[in-house]
């Protein structure tokens, strides 16, 4: 995983903004959801266009966070990107922001019936978890089922964000969650980017303006067990 150490400037600015060192002294398990973004073969495994090597190293952290979230009575949501709706929902982006060769490779790699779409080996969704299929960067964008409706229906008010890429789909989902008035925590050791520098810069900026940044261990320590929550 990335060796993340928050910058002193980001810590100082976040403390000045919130008036305290940490936003969350505790988390309510029943109203917390872990959102796992794009941990698919396409974004993780060698040979795929979206390959992010560090993503392979965060699987144990995600699994630990998922187990703790379930134990606290919270919800685990597995988010996967599909290219099936690209022509209808994201055509301009694919035509303008990608070369023809890259566009065709991405669309082929994320077809819902292909190997790239599948979740990475080592991740174990459980009965009671939810699945969300998205087209664009944000899991709050065009998605099925509608993530915001799913979360509100479960009484969720706090989101833990994990997955890849830290600075793209994870960050966009986390920022949209903030704007939709959820409390949002980016998990520093359960997100992956292409470089350590990009990962750190994304988390530092998120801490200042949008939410909290914590490790999986720090987050688990703030969650109750389900029996205590009930």
Write out the catalytic residue numbers: 38, 134, 169
Do residues 106 and 94 make contact, with C-beta atoms less than 8 angstroms apart?
yes
58, 199, 209, 204: which is closest to 120 by C-alpha? 58
What is the chain's length? 230
Sheet holding 75-81, edge to edge: 143-144, 130-134, 75-81, 32-37, 158-164, 183-192, 212-214
Spell out where 84-182 has E strands: 130-134, 143-144, 158-164
């Amino acid at each position: 995983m990335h060796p993340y150490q928050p910058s002193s400037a980001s810590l100082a600015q976040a403390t000045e903004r919130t008036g305290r060192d940490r936003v969350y002294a505790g988390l309510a398990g029943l109203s917390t959801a872990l959102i796992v973004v794009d941990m698919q073969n396409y974004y993780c495994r060698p040979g795929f266009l979206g390959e992010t090597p560090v993503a392979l190293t965060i699987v144990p952290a995600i699994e630990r966070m998922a187990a703790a979230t379930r134990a606290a009575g919270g919800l685990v949501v597995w988010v996967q990107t599909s290219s099936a709706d690209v022509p209808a929902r994201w055509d301009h982006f694919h035509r303008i922001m990608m070369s023809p060769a890259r566009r065709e490779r991405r669309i082929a790699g994320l077809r819902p019936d292909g190997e790239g779409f599948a979740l990475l080996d080592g991740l174990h969704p459980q009965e009671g978890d939810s699945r969300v299929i998205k087209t664009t960067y944000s899991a709050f964008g065009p998605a099925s089922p509608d993530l915001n409706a799913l979360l509100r229906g479960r009484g969720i008010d706090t989101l833990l964000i994990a997955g890849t890429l830290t600075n793209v789909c994870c960050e966009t989902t986390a920022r949209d969650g903030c704007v939709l008035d959820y409390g949002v925590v980016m998990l520093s050791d359960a997100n992956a980017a292409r470089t350590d520098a990009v990962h750190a810069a994304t988390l530092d900026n998120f801490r200042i303006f949008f939410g909290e940044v914590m490790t999986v261990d720090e987050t688990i320590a703030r969650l109750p067990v389900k029996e205590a929550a009930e």
